């Protein structure tokens, strides 16, 4: 089904939109122990084993990888953050880290930012090494 607020595709059993956080219509709202309406965090509590990138049901780990591209007087950066499976962790780690190693150093600010991003990427990657491929 699609969200009525942001028009993104979401699961049919979703009580909240994973993109905008609004309630979906026609489906009962999750209740917490105090009887109040639930939140996106309450809804996602049982979905620890779903990769937020590829959607596969496998062991996941909370990570954040960053990429920096230096362009002498300007720098470009992007990141991926969330619960990812082993396959997606490997893909984004190598893609973002190697790009930062190759062209992330050019520029005054990038000289300082690139080593920090590389160090953070390695830290998160080492934390996720224990994950097993489950597919």
The structural domains of the chain, with segments of one domain joined by +, span 1-47, 60-127
Farthest CA pair distance, the chain = 56
Task: Give the model confidence (pLDDT) of 6-54 as tens digits.
Answer: 777 777 766 667 677 666 765 444 444 444 445 555 555 556 688 888 8
CA distances from 67 to 51, 84, 101, 104, 117 (A): 20, 17, 9, 8, 7
Of 130, 121, 55, the C-alpha closest to 88 is: 55
From 44-48, 106-110, 125-129, the region with the lowest mean pLDDT: 44-48
From 12-16, 53-57, 68-72, the region with the lowest mean pLDDT: 12-16
Of 128, 72, 88, 33, the C-alpha closest to 80 is: 88
Q: Does the pLDDT at position 1 exceed 80?
A: no
Confidence of residue 4 (pLDDT cuts 50, 70, 90): confident
CB proximity list for 21: less than 8 A, separation 6 or greater: 39, 40
């Amino acid at each position: 089904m699609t969200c009525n607020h942001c028009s993104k595709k979401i699961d049919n059993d979703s009580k909240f939109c994973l993109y905008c956080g609004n309630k979906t219509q026609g489906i009962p709202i999750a209740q917490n122990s105090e009887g109040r309406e639930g939140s996106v965090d309450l809804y996602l509590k049982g979905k620890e084993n779903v990769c937020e990138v590829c959607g596969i049901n496998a062991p996941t780990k909370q990570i954040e990888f960053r990429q920096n591209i230096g362009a002498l007087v300007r720098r470009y950066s992007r990141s991926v953050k969330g619960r990812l499976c082993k396959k997606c962790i490997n893909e984004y780690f190598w893609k973002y880290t190697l790009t930062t190693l190759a062209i992330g150093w050019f520029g005054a600010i990038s000289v300082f930012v690139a080593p920090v991003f590389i160090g953070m990427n390695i830290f998160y990657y080492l934390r996720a090494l224990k994950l097993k491929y489950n597919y």
